[in-house]
């Protein structure tokens, strides 16, 4: 069993304002002081090790890698990483880095939730910051996730306004919460500006099969889709070949597909990573949910700059207005982890 009983509330839904965050942070601090769980302060640069189950080119992981590289360039950390680690091997690699004296271990434990928490319990002096679908585990296991549903909603608005056939295609990897959440927000955004819009949803059951993603995208274009939500590599290529538009996800691919990718929801891991590094240095690292640091208000997510040549100015104005509302806490994008379905 993953022990989440002592964890802080996983505020994956609900509006996050600064005050509530502070209160939670303070609560966590008080709690950890009470139980004496905070780790000892560390000298800069701290030793950071990252363990990824996919190559660092993979969109999702590339964002974590980038933030850690930036911290390394600043001289805050020394950085080592292992990529393409099989899930069956994950625990061993975690132990190895922990044994070698890493101060902070970063990674993704979606397939090894329980073993990863066991390792963390064995190394109480090491801080862990892991991508996870569950909550944090005391005393030293913090979690994060890609909560970029807010900009996804905004890109959905762009798609809803730009579609002429009123059919939008979405190609996803696996129907897991991390994917569903963003697709659902995207669809909600599109419907909010265009109630007539219909969706085609296809999953390819692979993270990394661009030829297959491309075929899935072709099938949707054949069915009338004129804007594609590119959750996977390969979708934008199909859009480009057939001369339709695509919406980017997690990374900004507008440069690779000029004129094809019209909007992108970006994920920034810097707020999460920098906060964890600082906490380790200060000796205040505790088991926390870093999810909120991927929200727009915290700078953990953003909408890539919209190009007025591709998106009409009135649409840009509409979207930017909504963006401001989200940042100010006036509009809340729902977190819906249910598998999205075709609506045709």
User: Which tokens go with 154?
Assistant: 């905004």
Span from 18-26, 131-139, 230-238, 292-300 in contact with other proteins (CB under 8 A): 230-238
The three-state secondary structure class of 259 is: coil
Q: Give the residue with the Cβ less far from other proteins, 212 or 332.
A: 212
Among 156, 234, 248, 292, binds other proteins (CB under 8 A): 234
Q: How far is the CB of 36 from other proteins (least distance, A)?
A: 42
- Kindly state the smallest distance separating residue 260's Cβ from other proteins, in Å: 14
Question: Which of 206, 258, 321, 334 contacts other proteins by CB under 8 A?
Answer: 206
Number of C-beta neighbours around residue 344 at 10 A: 11
CB of 57 to other proteins, least distance (A): 5
- From the list 2, 207, 299, 331, which residue makes contact with other proteins (rule: CB under 8 A)? 207
Which token pair is 255? 């440069």
**CB-CB contact of 233 with 59 (8 Å):** yes
Residues whose CB falls within 8 Å of the CB of residue 167, separated by 6 or more in sequence, listed in order: 197, 198, 199, 200, 223, 224, 225, 226, 344
> How far apart are alpha carbons 64 and 211 in whole angstroms?
26
Tokens of 213: 């993603």
- The Cβ of residue 123 has, within 10 Å, a number of other Cβ atoms equal to 18
Write down the least CB distance from residue 206 to other proteins, Å: 5
Q: Which of residues 159-198 bind other proteins (CB under 8 A)?
A: 169, 175
Contact 93, 82 (CB under 8 A): yes
| Cis status, amide bond into 277, omega within 30 of 0 | no
Q: How far is the CB of 237 from other proteins (least distance, A)?
A: 7
* Shortest spacing between CB 338 and other proteins, in angstroms: 11
R_g (Cα) of the chain, nearest Å:
20
| Separation CA 112–CA 67 (nearest Å) | 23
| Cα–Cα dist 330/343, whole Å | 29
User: Binders of other proteins among 74-103, rule CB under 8 A?
Assistant: 84
**Judged by CB under 8 A, which stretch of 29-37, 97-105, 210-218, 274-282 contacts other proteins?**
210-218
**Of 20, 80, 95, 223, the one binding other proteins by CB under 8 A:** 223
- Among 202, 249, 260, 272, the residue binding other proteins under the rule CB under 8 A is 202
Q: Is 62 in the site for other proteins (CB under 8 A)?
A: yes
Candidates 222, 176, 178, 229; CA nearest to 199 is: 229
Find the binder of other proteins among 253, 260, 294, 298 (CB under 8 A).
Answer: 253
Q: How far is the CB of 12 from other proteins (least distance, A)?
A: 23
Least distance (Å) between residue 31 CB and other proteins: 39
What single DSSP character describes residue 245?
E
Residue closer to other proteins by CB (options 235, 306) is 235
Stretch that binds other proteins, among 3-11, 95-103, 199-207, 293-301 (CB under 8 A): 199-207
According to DSSP, the β-strands at 141-144 and 167-172 are unpaired
Residue 342 touching other proteins (CB under 8 A) = yes
Sole binder of other proteins in the list 64, 200, 263, 335 (CB under 8 A)? 200
Provide the mask over 7-46, with x wherever binding to other proteins is found by CB under 8 A and - wherever it is not: ----------------------------------------
Give the phi and the psi of residue 88 in degrees, each rounded to 5. Answer: -70, -20
Q: Is the peptide bond before 139 cis (omega within 30 degrees of 0)?
A: yes
Q: Which tokens in the block code for residue 20?
A: 């509530």
Residues in contact with other proteins by CB under 8 A are: 54-55, 57, 62, 84, 169, 175, 200-212, 214-216, 218-220, 222-223, 233-234, 237, 251, 253, 256, 339-344
């Amino acid at each position: 069993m993953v022990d989440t009983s002592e964890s802080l509330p996983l505020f994956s839904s609900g509006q996050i304002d600064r005050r509530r965050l502070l209160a939670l942070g303070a609560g966590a601090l008080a709690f950890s002081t009470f139980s004496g769980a905070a780790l000892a302060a560390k000298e800069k640069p701290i030793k950071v090790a990252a363990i990824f189950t996919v190559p660092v080119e993979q969109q999702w992981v590339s964002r974590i890698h980038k933030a850690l590289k930036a911290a390394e360039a600043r001289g805050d950390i020394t950085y080592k990483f292992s990529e393409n680690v099989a899930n069956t091997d994950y625990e061993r690699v975690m132990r190895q880095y922990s044994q070698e004296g890493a101060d902070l271990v970063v990674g993704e434990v979606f397939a090894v939730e329980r073993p990863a928490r066991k390792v963390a319990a064995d190394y109480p002096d090491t801080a862990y910051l892991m991508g996870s679908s569950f909550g944090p585990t005391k005393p030293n296991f913090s979690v994060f996730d890609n909560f970029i549903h807010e900009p996804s909603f905004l890109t959905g608005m762009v798609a809803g306004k730009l579609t002429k056939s009123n059919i939008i295609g979405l190609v996803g990897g696996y129907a897991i919460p991390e994917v569903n959440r963003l697709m659902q927000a995207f669809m909600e955004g599109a419907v909010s500006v265009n109630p007539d819009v219909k969706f085609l949803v296809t999953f390819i059951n692979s993270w990394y099969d661009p030829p297959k993603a491309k075929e899935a995208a072709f099938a949707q274009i054949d069915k009338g889709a004129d804007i594609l939500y590119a959750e996977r590599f390969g979708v934008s290529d199909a859009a480009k070949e057939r001369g339709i538009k695509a919406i980017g996800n997690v990374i900004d691919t507008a440069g690779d597909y000029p004129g094809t990718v019209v909007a992108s929801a970006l994920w920034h891991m810097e707020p999460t990573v920098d906060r964890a590094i600082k906490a380790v240095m200060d000796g205040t690292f505790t088991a926390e949910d870093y999810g909120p640091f991927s929200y727009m208000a915290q700078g953990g997510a953003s909408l890539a700059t919209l190009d007025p040549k591709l998106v009409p100015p009135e649409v840009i104005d509409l979207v930017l207005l909504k963006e401001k509302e989200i940042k100010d806490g006036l509009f809340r994008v729902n977190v819906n982890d249910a598998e999205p379905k075709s609506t045709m």
